[in-house]
Amino acid sequence: MKILGIESSCDETAAAVVEDGFRLLSNVVATQIDIHAQYGGVVPEIAARSHIEAINPVIQQALADADCAWEDIDAIAVTYAPGLIGSLLVGTLVARTLAIVHHKPLYAIYHVEGHVYANFITEQSSTIQPQLELPPRAPAFPMLALIASGLHTQLVLFRGHGDYTLIGQTQDDAVGEAFDKVAKMLGLPYPGGPAISTAALNGDPNKYSFPKARMSNTYDFSFSGLKTAVLRALQREIGQDYTFPSHQVAEQLSEAQVHDFAASFQKVAVETIVDKTLRAYEEYQPQSVVIAGGVAADRELRKQLRQQLPIAIEYAPPKLCGDNGAMIASLGYYYAQQNQPVDPYTLEVQPVISMRDTAWANH
Ligand code: KG4
Ligand code: ZN
């Protein structure tokens, strides 16, 4: 079964064709990073407008790369939630229209769950480049998933496809958002995750110490305190008090200070999510542990989990960790095994909806 996956929930316009949930036939991502970088973050109106310009060419390219005509496509899967409303609307309206015009079943996919399914892509057709370093097999259930992106930080226990429980989530900022905000304070470019990760390579992770948030639910997260602690330490470092504006700090820092702050922040942010993942592993004893979302590309996170988990940590290649259509098409396949398609005339987007309300398996 070949599924066309469409993703436009934030600042990536993406489409891909995946066969039977695991074989990648094409994967096209048009990123808007360069456009938003000049503003230091995603501007929702600009994101929506850019999706409108990019979406048709991106879908055409995904079909062409997969060597597919419309009659070869069995279904369309599209991200309908959560995300920026204007961005979500573009992908869903295009998917609805294509489903009607080409008489294809349409499946509505929850983006955060989609990230996890990047880990289920285990083969790619030899005709598409670049060749990715894919995992040899799909993760086994029960599976513990750490989802860490620019908008989400969640620990989820999957008993089977669509059968999952949210065991913890951030109560304020997502971990990726903390990376992005700290990067901004340090004068590093957007998106902050890769920039911090690279700057940290040359820094001392023990130079500055920051507190870890204590939460009433063991598996919940909080990153806004860490972000403020970094700002206060930066202000102290340059001899200023707490009223000094965060956007003027960077110009007074040396390169070595930037590297040390990046490394010290990254250490605490990563340790926080690793500690909770290890604890959840001990309690639930899953068969596999996967990481997903943009932050899953972080070297330090991968390293700490590799060293500390009793079983092998599983992750997708960096190209499939950020937003993409392949993860949506892969989940679309498993979803289609147990669910009816949605009505393309009435599908609505859901910008804000919790993972607690989205499990779908009917067993
Ligand atoms: O999954 P994603 O592409 O989009 C969302 O659904 O949010 O995640 C984007 C986030 C950004 O906050 C970005 O800074 C972070 O992932 N990120 C990283 C790395 N690459 C991207 N964080 C840490 N290390 C990286 N290498
Ligand atoms: Zn995402």
CATH of the domain at 23: 3.30.420.40
For CA atoms 83, 271, 206, 302, give the dihedral sign. Answer: negative
Local confidence band at 272 (pLDDT 50, 70, 90 cut-offs): very high
List, for residues 180-190, the tens digit of each pLDDT value: 999 999 999 98
Does 130 share its domain with 231?
Answer: no
Average pLDDT of the segment spanning 216-245: 95
Bridge-based pairing state of the strands 2-7 and 12-19: antiparallel
Which atom of ligand 1 is found nearest the CA of 190? Answer: 14
Write the pLDDT tens digit of every residue in 284-297.
999 999 999 999 99
Q: Is there a single domain that holds both residue 170 and residue 68?
A: no
CA 98 → CA 4, 62, 91, 155, distances in Å?
11, 14, 11, 34
Mean pLDDT for 77-92 is 97
pLDDT of residue 146: 98
Centre of ligand 1 to C-alpha 132, Å, is 19
Distance 9 CA to ligand 2 centre (A): 8
pLDDT at 361: 87
Q: What is the DSSP letter of 35?
A: H
Say whether the peptide bond before residue 136 is cis (omega within 30 degrees of 0). Answer: no
What is the per-residue pLDDT across 139-154, written as a single tens digit (0 to 9) for each? 999 999 999 999 899 9
Domain co-membership, 123 together with 218: no
Residue 256: how many other CB atoms lie within 10 Å = 12
Q: How far apart are CA 356 and CA 81, in angstroms?
A: 13
Range of the domain at 65: 2-139+319-357
| Same domain for 201 and 93 | no
Pocket test for ligand 1, best of 8, 112, 147, 149 (most atoms within 8 A of CB): 149
The DSSP call for residue 213 is P
What's at 334, amino acid-wise? Y
**Band of residue 133 on the pLDDT scale cut at 50, 70, 90:** very high
Q: How far is the CA of 115 from the centre of ligand 2 (A)?
A: 6
294 and 179 assigned to the same domain: yes
Based on the domain organization, do 278 and 201 belong to the same domain? yes
On whether residue 40 sits in a domain, the answer given is yes
Position 267, amino acid: K
How much distance in Å is there from the Cα of 102 to the middle of ligand 1?
34
Q: Which residues of 190-211 are buried (b: 16+ CB within 10 A; e: fewer)?
A: bbbbbbbbebbeebebeebebe
pLDDT at 3: 98
Q: With bands split at pLDDT 50, 70 and 90, how would you rate the model's confidence at 35? A: confident
Q: Which of 179, 301, 319 to mutate to test the pocket of ligand 1 (most atoms within 8 A of CB)?
A: 179
Taking residues 13-21, report their average pLDDT: 98
CA angle 66, 69, 72 (to 5 degrees): 85
Provide the mean pLDDT of the chain. 95
pLDDT band at 335 (very low <50, low <70, confident <90, very high): very high
Helix axes 224-237, 255-284, angle to 10 degrees: 160
CB 325 within 8 A of CB 73: no
Residue 362 lies in a domain: no
The total of structural domains in the chain comes to 2
* 354 pLDDT above the threshold of 80: yes
What was the pLDDT predicted at 226?
Answer: 96
State the pLDDT confidence band at 344, using cuts at 50, 70 and 90. very high
| Ligand 1 binding pocket, CB closer than 6 Å | 10, 149-151, 176, 179-180, 191-194, 197, 293-295, 297-298, 322-323
- Distance, in Å, from the CA atom of 300 to the CA atom of 279, rounded to the nearest integer, reads 18
